[in-house]
Amino acid sequence: MGTFRIVGVIGAATVASALLQGAPVPTAHAERCPDAKVIFARGTTEMPGLGPTGDAFVNSLQSQVGPKSVEVSPVNYPATTDFRTAVDGINDARAQILATAASCPDTKMVLGGFSQGAAVMGFVTANVVPEGVTALNVPTPMPLDVADNVAAVALFGKPSARFMRAINDPQIVIGPKYVDKAVELCVDDDLVCDPDGRSFGIHSRYPEVGMADQGATQVAHKLQASWAADAAEADEPVTPAPAEAPAPALLSVLAPADVPPAHIPGATPGPTGPPPGPAPAPPSSPPFAP
């Protein structure tokens, strides 16, 4: 117990988790941007890192996307029964997402979480501050275009509206830009996520019942579809804009009506005498002299 206290004090929680649970440790300065990046928030009272559900999910996902590179980064927050500290997780996840979008715009992000961590990620995607929450107490919603960098949102055991009311917290509403990207999984009768659930023991069994693998499969499909769409867009030929037709030349000087333009071959000048009309009468002869 003392060792863990020391680790927490020196702020090396993520590294300790990697040593204890075998979780991959993200490098601060990667040599190149990964094809995908998983940002995952663990559940309540789980050791720092990804947690058992997060570990199972990531291991399965990495095996399903083949040669694609997948970087993993846990959300750094207390994950205690003092649910007010979930805001720390929202802040940390938000900062990681924005930093990745800025430094690696081609990387496809996967946002994930289990239990309290699922609530954290759900709130991160929200486009408005939840009703009843003071805006000064929570982070500003992320810019809407950041959703373009997110391929999937995987939420395991996300607390139901019933559960959130029980702990006096607002309902979790996924932001509209992330709804089609979301994969939500809940074990039947789970007290936390099932609106009619009665069992708390089942809540910790997502890896055992195969839901971590199930979630990974759905996320892998979303990643593959996103990569395929990018490849198709890159291969699409660019159609050049049609050239504008030259404007017709204008005559700088208009020729007089009775003189054909000189540039028209075979033209002859028109008559220059008086205009046609009846011939004038001849003058009358003077009378003969007597």
- Give me the catalytic one of 203, 204, 213, 226: 203
Helices (H), the chain: 2-9, 13-21, 51-64, 86-103, 116-125, 161-166, 211-235
Is 221 catalytic? The answer is no
- Give me the catalytic one of 17, 115, 160, 226: 115
Q: Contact at 8 Å (CB) between 43 and 53?
A: yes
- Give me the catalytic one of 190, 194, 213, 226: 190
Token match 């046609």: residue? 276
Is 285 catalytic? The answer is no
How far is Cα 198 from Cα 192, in angstroms, rounded to an integer? 9
**Residue 55 burial (10 A CB sphere; 0-12, 13-18, 19+):** buried
Is 235 catalytic? The answer is no
User: DSSP 3-state assignment of 118?
Assistant: helix
Catalytic residues: 115, 190, 203
